[in-house]
């Protein structure tokens, strides 16, 4: 990499304080000009999306997450009003909770338990971890983002004796997501076991008329906040999904929205060289040959951005991982995303990145501001810990470049509400533009729905197996025999797995008699 190439492909955006370095991607001088017609088509598609076009044709929906930070751009006054009124409700509820006007039976809320999964948890978790200040936070934040009983127990143990001053947010657009429903029911049981009335603690963030919305209204929960079908879960962080928990924690949500709005304004510019989202979309295209030929390794050199790669996994992989393009052709698109943080990864998988399979590109995220303190300790004469952190970042880039491993570097001024809002908005726009470049629908998730359907079939089989065990009258039967009695002889493998787990949990009532070949083990009800 030469100084000349760096100057040619280093882009600084003084209006937002962000820089983008594409110089370590091996594209030729003709790549960007050659892609310009397709980029202009992507700009045009994005303009139509923001004007309210049906950008999710499979579901017949508009895509409106950009309106969340610029309500005046919404295609009709009703949507503008809904966004404004929901944001006002978030601010009002937060102020009243912080003032103790909305409180638990033992006083002002001190803890916040967020129940959600996917986009209803990843964004709030990222923001809570990136911007939280334990000694300054208004509420300490906890999450239930799975359906793991042991995970539930761990959180409830941490909140033992504190539930009376715990506020609970249940987040689910449909109101029927199994993992969230289960977390809600387990939490309700924990509150009632502690002698507390859940309705005095619970808040719903959900779609109007959903099962969750109906439950919250019927039981008289503290409040209900809107989610809309034109905002997907993976782009919902700057709706009530993410703004309400962030505000309750004490984070400046107005600065987050302002940062996102500033990035949106810049990334609407239909000039590729002046638009960081356009350049990043083209960088992804060049790095992956427009067909997912390389994985994306995300390495933020900042502890506060540890969860960014997890957040980006859903945004990118759920948006771009599609079997069919918009014309119905099989394309099997996508970009796999993984990562952790630097310099931790110096001691983990950088060895393979440099010398192993060359099947990835790296997105380095550099943060210029080291810490809140005015000055840093010198760990060596004239050298601080921050110097070392930058040294590892720049050194790793060089080490990878020496072996022909491509990378992008994104530089932020700091980790603040404004800059995090910018980071989220940037990657939302990059994902949308890239999807247009490769001709797929970024805003649906048929694979997710297929997974949910398959999980439902497993639950149905479990119930049938339990009925078969009850009908057996204490007779011990193997998995194949029980699957046949359950009317699913072709599901013996799944039956075996279900029975093994049931037998490992005393409360199930299922007992196992082990055989030399474990798959021939028999099961009965105690």
Residue 28 structure tokens? 């030729």
Q: Distance between CA atoms of 200 and 184, rounded to whole angstroms?
A: 14
65-251 folds as Rossmann fold (3.40.50)
Strand order in the sheet with 510-513: 477-478, 522-525, 510-513
* 3-class SS of residue 314: helix
Provide DSSP, 65-84.
GGGGG-GGGSSSHHHHHHHH
Q: Distance between CA atoms of 145 and 125, rounded to whole angstroms?
A: 10
Give me the residues paired with residue 512 across strands.
Answer: 523
CA 509 to chain centre: 37
- List, by residue number, the catalytic residues: 318, 347, 452
308-326 pLDDT, tens digit each? 999 999 999 999 999 999 9
- End-to-end CA, the chain: 70
pLDDT of residue 123: 98
pLDDT of residue 373: 82
Of 1.10.10, 1.10.3470, 1.20.1070, 3.30.1490, the CATH number of 447-525 is 1.10.10
- The contacts of residue 205 (CB under 8 Å, 6+ apart) are 120, 169, 170, 171, 172, 224, 225, 226, 227, 240, 241, 244
Region for 167 from its dihedrals, namely left if φ exceeds 0, alpha if ψ lies in -120 to 50, beta otherwise: beta
Q: Is the domain covering 3-50+262-443 a CATH 3.40.640.10 domain?
A: no
pTM, two decimals, is 0.95
Q: Distance between CA atoms of 315 and 294, rounded to whole angstroms?
A: 17
- In 3D space, the residue among 364, 342, 343, 345 whose CA is nearest the CA of residue 353 turns out to be 345
Check: CB of residue 80 under 8 Å from CB of residue 71.
yes
Which residue ranges make up each domain of the chain? 3-50+262-443, 65-251, 447-525
pLDDT, mean over the chain: 97
- The contacts of residue 248 (CB under 8 Å, 6+ apart) are 94, 97, 98, 112, 138, 139, 167, 169
pLDDT of residue 187: 98
List the pLDDT tens digit at each of the 526 positions of the chain: 689 999 999 999 999 999 999 999 999 999 999 999 999 999 999 999 999 999 999 999 999 999 999 999 999 999 999 999 999 999 999 999 999 999 999 999 999 999 999 999 999 999 999 999 998 999 999 999 999 999 999 999 999 999 999 999 999 998 889 999 999 999 999 999 999 999 999 999 999 999 999 999 999 999 999 999 999 999 999 999 999 999 999 999 999 999 999 999 999 999 999 999 999 999 999 999 999 999 999 999 999 999 999 999 999 999 999 999 999 999 999 999 999 999 998 889 999 999 999 999 999 999 999 998 888 999 999 999 999 999 999 999 999 999 999 999 999 999 999 999 999 999 999 999 999 999 999 999 998 878 888 999 999 999 999 999 999 999 999 999 999 999 999 999 999 999 999 999 989 999 999 999 999 999 999 9
Residue 21 structure tokens? 């370095």
pLDDT of residue 496: 98
Q: Distance between CA atoms of 226 and 241, rounded to whole angstroms?
A: 9
Check: CB of residue 232 under 8 Å from CB of residue 428.
no
Is the fold of 3-50+262-443 the same as that of 447-525?
Answer: no
Please report, for residues 131, 141, 145, 304, 426, the alpha-carbon distance to residue 113 in angstroms, rounded to integers and kept in the order given.
17, 6, 10, 20, 29
Q: Distance between CA atoms of 480 and 483, rounded to whole angstroms?
A: 5
pLDDT of residue 374: 80
Angle between helices 417-438 and 253-267 (to 10 degrees): 40
pLDDT of residue 511: 97
Residues belonging to the chain: 526
């Amino acid at each position: 990499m030469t100084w000349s190439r760096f100057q040619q492909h280093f882009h600084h955006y003084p209006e937002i304080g962000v820089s983008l370095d594409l110089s370590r991607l091996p594209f030729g001088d003709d790549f960007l000009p050659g892609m310009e017609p397709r980029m202009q088509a992507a700009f045009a598609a994005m303009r139509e999306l923001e004007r309210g076009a049906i950008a999710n044709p499979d579901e017949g929906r508009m895509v409106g997450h950009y309106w969340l930070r610029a309500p005046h751009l919404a295609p009709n006054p009703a949507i503008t009003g809904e966004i404004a009124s929901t944001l006002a409700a978030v601010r009002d509820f937060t102020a009243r909770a912080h003032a103790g006007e909305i409180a638990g039976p033992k006083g002002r809320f001190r803890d916040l338990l967020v129940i959600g999964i996917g986009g209803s948890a990843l964004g709030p978790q990222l923001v809570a971890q990136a911007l939280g200040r334990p000694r300054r936070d208004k509420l300490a934040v906890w999450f239930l983002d799975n359906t793991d009983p042991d995970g539930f127990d761990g959180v409830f143990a941490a909140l033992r004796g504190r539930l009376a001053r715990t506020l609970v947010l249940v987040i689910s657009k449909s109101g029927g997501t199994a993992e969230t429903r289960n977390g809600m029911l387990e939490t309700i049981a924990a509150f009632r076991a502690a002698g507390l009335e859940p309705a005095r603690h619970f808040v719903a963030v959900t779609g109007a008329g959903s099962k969750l919305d109906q439950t919250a209204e019927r039981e008289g929960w503290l409040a209900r906040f809107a989610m809309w079908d034109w905002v997907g879960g993976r782009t919902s962080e700057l709706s009530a999904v993410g703004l309400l928990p962030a505000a309750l924690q004490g984070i400046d949500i107005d600065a987050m929205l302002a940062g996102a709005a500033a990035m949106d304004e810049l990334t609407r510019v239909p000039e590729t060289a002046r638009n960081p989202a356009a350049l990043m979309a083209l960088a992804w295209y060049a790095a992956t040959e427009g067909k997912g030929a390389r994985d994306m390794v995300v390495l933020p050199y900042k502890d506060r951005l540890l969860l960014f790669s997890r957040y980006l996994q859903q945004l990118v992989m759920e948006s771009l991982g599609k079997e069919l393009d918009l014309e119905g052709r099989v394309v099997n698109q996508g970009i796999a995303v993984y990562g952790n943080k630097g310099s931790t990864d110096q001691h983990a998988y950088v060895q393979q990145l440099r010398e192993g399979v060359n099947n990835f590109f790296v997105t380095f995220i550099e943060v210029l501001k080291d810490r809140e303190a005015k000055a840093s300790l010198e760990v060596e004469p004239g050298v601080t810990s921050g110097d070392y952190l930058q040294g590892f970042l720049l050194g790793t880039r060089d080490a990878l470049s020496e072996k022909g491993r491509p990378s992008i570097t994104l530089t932020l001024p700091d980790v603040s509400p404004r800059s995090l809002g910018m980071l989220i908005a940037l990657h939302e726009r990059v994902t949308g533009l890239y999807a247009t470049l490769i001709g797929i629908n970024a805003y649906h998730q048929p694979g997710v729905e297929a997974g949910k359907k398959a999980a439902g079939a497993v639950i149905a089989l479990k119930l049938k197996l339990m009925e078969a065990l009850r009908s057996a009258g204490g007779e011990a039967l193997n998995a194949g025999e029980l699957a046949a009695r359950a009317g699913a002889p072709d599901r013996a493998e799944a039956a075996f797995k279900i029975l093994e787990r049931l037998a490992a949990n005393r409360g199930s009532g299922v007992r196992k008699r082990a055989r030399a070949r474990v798959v021939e083990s028999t099961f009965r009800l105690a």
